[in-house]
């Protein structure tokens, strides 16, 4: 596991133990160095003092060439256990006396070396001149081992290890106690954050346990929560305002719709009444005064009757169209085959033409308002029959095909068709591409068709060429 | 005019429409004893023999009432409500004559007990036919209570 992935508790402990370990080691190393340095100095001083004393005592033995006495003097070094070798050279530089007595002369340097003391291969050795009254009598050689120092160093090492172990234990216990003070506030903060995100409750606040960085973090978190709470409140209030606005607008719309309804009623009622007067009284005029009218008068009466009748039809169609706008569309499965068969059978029954051939392909079922979709078929098929033209036979083809998760239905005829440059007017209310003399009509049928299909979220379109027939398409949702 | 033996009461604010109705009923020999009142207030006076009609016998109810809906003062719905709400008059058949199928009051009329309703067509032939048929049905076929 990487250090960064460790829990904070372990990180803290690791850091504390590492730092205390380094500090201890550095301290011990310094102590060791100091110890070695002082020990060497002390040993050198002691050895040089000893050398001076022995040199002073040996002057007589050298002057009188008393080898026995010299050996005796050196043998006194027995008391100094660290002295391993001692030798006395006469003024000619020849070994004169030695300690221990049994040592081979080869162990000594053949000639006295330079005056002074130095460390060599973990031994301290030195040459001390023996003089009397400024006269050089000989040289004393001393060699001392460093065992005492090594013993001390071993002891120190043991103590150091012990201290390190005790320190580590102390560090561990202390860091355990300390880390609680740091990790507990962090853990409590984390728990609070988790509780908030789990329950989506922004009214929860973290408890501040200290005034340090963690305390600042707690304060910041709480401040953030307050802000979130405030913003949530604002959002809710905005939502409510929006909903209220929607309600208001809906009410306004409903009112407008109601006004439109009453307007429609007024139009139908108030326009029809005078129209009825015109039509009816003209008819009475015709019935009661026909013998008093000449041919021109009779023709005028016919025009009045025809016009008022047409206006009545226009008003009725307009009403039918506006009624459609307010109608709720139901959604049921429609079996197109049966529906279209019923419509075409009715047409064949009432049609005065007998040269009509309707070819119905198997039709896909769809979802929609059966009564309204039937109206679409009635409008399209009646148009196909009406705009047949002067062809000897009226051929009508009805079919369907699926297209992009919708079903497309079509009615194709071989009638007069229309010029595509007037296509934009085709589905408009009261828009006609033929005169009333050519083909009777008010121009509402296709507008109603368009509106019905629009209410079903479908599309309606057409293709045609003048005098080459027309095809009308509409699409509905599949089952 | 003898207001005691009225067969059909026509309640219609438009003189023109009333005359058309009277003409077609008479021409088709459906009823000869017709009476026309020009608004709802007068209709109520006539039916309940009050006001100007206080001399009329209360028991001599008309056999049929043709009632227009849109009228000044008291409208057709109010008249209908009064007729159907009174035990003495509630058995009189009432046919609503309206100019439009869009009339929002049609449903209310049925709830109040109207016997049928007829949309007055714009065309004269249609109008005559409608009046003739309703007169024929209510005056000759339908045996009044």
* Cβ neighbours of A211 (radius 10 Å): 10
CB-closest option in A264, A283, A308 to B102: A264
Cβ of residue B104 closer than 8 Å to a chain A Cβ: yes
**B41, burial (CB in 10 Å: exposed 0-12, middle 13-18, buried 19+):** middle
Query: Residue B116's beta-bridge partner residues?
Result: B95
The predicted structure's pLDDT at residue B102: 62
If you compute the radius of gyration of chain A from its CA atoms, what whole number of angstroms results? Answer: 63
Buried b (16+ CB within 10 A) or exposed e, A322-333: bebeeeeeeeee
Mutation for testing the B interface, residue in A280, A283, A286, A311 having most B CBs under 10 Å:
A280
Residue appearing with tokens 């009225």: B6
Smallest CA–CA distance, residue A276 to chain B, in Å, is 4
**A380, burial (CB in 10 Å: exposed 0-12, middle 13-18, buried 19+):** buried
Per residue of chain A (479 residues), give pLDDT as tens: 677 888 777 787 788 888 888 888 898 889 889 988 998 899 899 989 999 999 888 888 888 888 888 888 888 888 888 888 999 898 888 888 888 888 787 888 888 888 888 888 888 889 989 888 888 888 999 999 888 888 888 998 898 889 888 888 888 888 778 777 777 778 888 888 888 888 888 888 888 877 888 888 889 988 998 999 999 999 999 999 999 999 999 999 989 888 887 777 777 777 888 888 899 899 999 988 989 989 999 999 999 998 888 888 888 887 777 777 777 888 999 999 999 999 998 888 887 777 888 999 999 999 999 989 999 999 999 999 888 877 778 899 999 999 988 999 999 999 899 989 889 888 888 788 888 777 888 888 899 999 899 989 999 999 999 888 999 999 998 88
Cβ–Cβ below 8 Å for A283 and B102: no
β-pair type (A460-464, A470-477): antiparallel
DSSP 8-class letter at B75: -
**B139, burial (CB in 10 Å: exposed 0-12, middle 13-18, buried 19+):** middle
Of B84, B98, B95, residue with least CA distance to B135: B95
Cβ–Cβ below 8 Å for B99 and A312: no
Nearest CA in chain B to A304: B123
Nearest CA in chain B to A323: B102
Cβ of residue B126 closer than 8 Å to a chain A Cβ: no
**A301, burial (CB in 10 Å: exposed 0-12, middle 13-18, buried 19+):** middle
Residues A347, A350: Cα–Cα separation, whole Å? 5
From residue A179, how far is each of A23, A175, B93 by CA, in Å? 20, 6, 100
Which residues of A are less than 8 Å from B70 in CB distance?
269
Sign of the dihedral defined by the CA atoms of residues B82, B83, B85, B86, in that order = positive
Cβ–Cβ below 8 Å for B104 and A262: yes
Residues B10, B139: Cα–Cα separation, whole Å? 14
Cβ–Cβ below 8 Å for B103 and A284: no
The predicted structure's pLDDT at residue A70: 87
- Domains for chain A: give ranges and CATH numbers: 3-166 (3.30.450.20), 202-326 (no CATH), 330-477 (3.30.565.10)
Residues of A contacting chain B (CB within 8 angstroms):
261-262, 264-265, 268-270, 272-273, 275-277, 279-284, 305, 308-309, 311-312, 315, 319, 323
The predicted structure's pLDDT at residue B103: 67
Cβ–Cβ below 8 Å for B99 and A272: yes
β-pair type (B64-68, B34-37): unpaired
Which residues of B are less than 8 Å from A269 in CB distance?
70, 98-100, 102-103
* Cβ neighbours of B43 (radius 10 Å): 29
Peptide bond into A100 cis (omega under 30): yes
Cβ–Cβ below 8 Å for B123 and A279: yes
Nearest CA in chain A to B18: A277
Cβ of residue B15 closer than 8 Å to a chain A Cβ: no
Cβ–Cβ below 8 Å for B124 and A283: yes
* CATH superfamily, with its number, for domain B8-141: Response regulator (3.40.50.2300)
Nearest CA in chain B to A318: B102
Cβ–Cβ below 8 Å for B124 and A272: no
Cβ–Cβ below 8 Å for A280 and B70: no
Cβ–Cβ below 8 Å for B14 and A273: yes
Cβ–Cβ below 8 Å for A261 and B104: yes
Confidence band of B142 (pLDDT split at 50, 70, 90) = low
């Amino acid at each position: 596991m990487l250090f960064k992935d460790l829990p904070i508790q372990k990180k803290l402990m690791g850091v504390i133990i590492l730092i205390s370990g380094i500090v201890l080691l550095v301290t011990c190393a310094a102590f060791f160095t100091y110890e070695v340095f002082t020990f060497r100095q002390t040993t050198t001083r002691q050895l040089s003092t000893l050398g001076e004393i022995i040199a002073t005592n040996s002057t007589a033995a050298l002057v009188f060439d008393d080898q026995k006495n010299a050996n005796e003097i050196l043998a006194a070094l027995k008391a100094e256990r660290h002295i391993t070798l001692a030798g006395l050279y006469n003024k000619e530089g020849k070994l004169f006396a030695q300690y221990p007595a049994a040592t081979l002369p080869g162990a000594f340097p053949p000639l006295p070396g330079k005056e002074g003391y130095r460390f060599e291969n973990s031994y301290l050795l030195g040459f001390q001149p023996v003089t009397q009254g400024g006269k050089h009598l000989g040289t004393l050689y001393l060699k001392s081992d460093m065992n005492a120092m090594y013993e001390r160093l071993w002891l120190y090492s043991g103590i150091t290890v012990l201290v390190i172990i005790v320190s580590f234990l102390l560090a561990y216990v202390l860091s355990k106690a300390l880390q609680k003070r740091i990790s507990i506030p962090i853990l409590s903060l984390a728990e609070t954050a988790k509780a908030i995100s789990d329950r989506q409750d922004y009214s929860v606040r973290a408890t501040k346990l200290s005034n340090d960085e963690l305390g600042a973090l707690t304060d910041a978190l709480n401040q953030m929560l307050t802000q979130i709470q405030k913003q949530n409140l604002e959002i809710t209030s905005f939502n409510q305002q929006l909903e209220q606005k929607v309600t208001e607008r809906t009410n306004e719309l409903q009112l407008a719709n109601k006004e439109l309804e009453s307007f429609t009623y007024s139009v139908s009622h108030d326009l029809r009444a005078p129209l009825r007067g015109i039509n009816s009284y003209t008819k009475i005029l015709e019935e009661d005064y026909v013998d008093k009218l000449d041919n021109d008068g009779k023709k005028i009466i016919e025009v009045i009757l025809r016009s008022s009748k047409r206006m009545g039809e226009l008003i009725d169609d307009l009403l039918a169209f506006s009624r459609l706008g307010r109608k709720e569309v139901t959604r049921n499965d429609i079996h197109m085959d049966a529906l279209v068969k019923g419509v075409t059978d009715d047409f064949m029954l009432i049609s005065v033409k007998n040269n009509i051939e309707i070819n119905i392909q198997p039709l896909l079922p769809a979802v929609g308002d059966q009564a309204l979709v039937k109206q679409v078929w009635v409008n399209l098929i009646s148009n196909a029959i009406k705009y047949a033209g002067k062809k000897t036979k009226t051929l009508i083809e009805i079919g369907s095909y699926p297209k992009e998760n919708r079903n497309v239905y079509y009615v194709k005829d071989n009638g007069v068709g229309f010029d595509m440059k007037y296509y934009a007017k085709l589905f408009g209310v009261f828009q006609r591409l033929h005169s009333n003399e050519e083909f009777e009509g008010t121009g509402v049928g296709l507008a109603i068709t368009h509106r019905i299909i629009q209410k079903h979220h479908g599309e309606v379109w057409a293709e045609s060429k003048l005098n080459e027939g027309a095809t009308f398409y509409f699409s509905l949702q599949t089952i | 005019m003898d207001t005691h033996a009225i067969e059909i009461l026509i309640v219609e604010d438009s003189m023109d429409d009333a005359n058309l109705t009277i003409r077609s009923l008479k021409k088709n020999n459906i009823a000869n004893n017709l009476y026309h009142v020009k608004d709802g207030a007068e209709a109520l006076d006539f039916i309940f023999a009050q006001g100007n009609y206080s001399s009329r016998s209360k028991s001599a109810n008309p056999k049929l009432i043709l009632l227009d809906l849109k009228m000044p003062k008291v409208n057709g719905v109010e008249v209908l409500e009064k007729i159907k709400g009174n035990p003495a008059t509630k058995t009189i058949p009432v046919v609503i004559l309206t100019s439009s199928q869009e009339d929002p009051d049609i449903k209310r009329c049925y709830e109040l007990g109207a016997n049928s309703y007829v949309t007055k067509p714009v065309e004269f032939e249609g109008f005559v036919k409608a009046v003739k048929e309703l007169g024929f049905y209510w005056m000759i076929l339908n045996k009044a209570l």
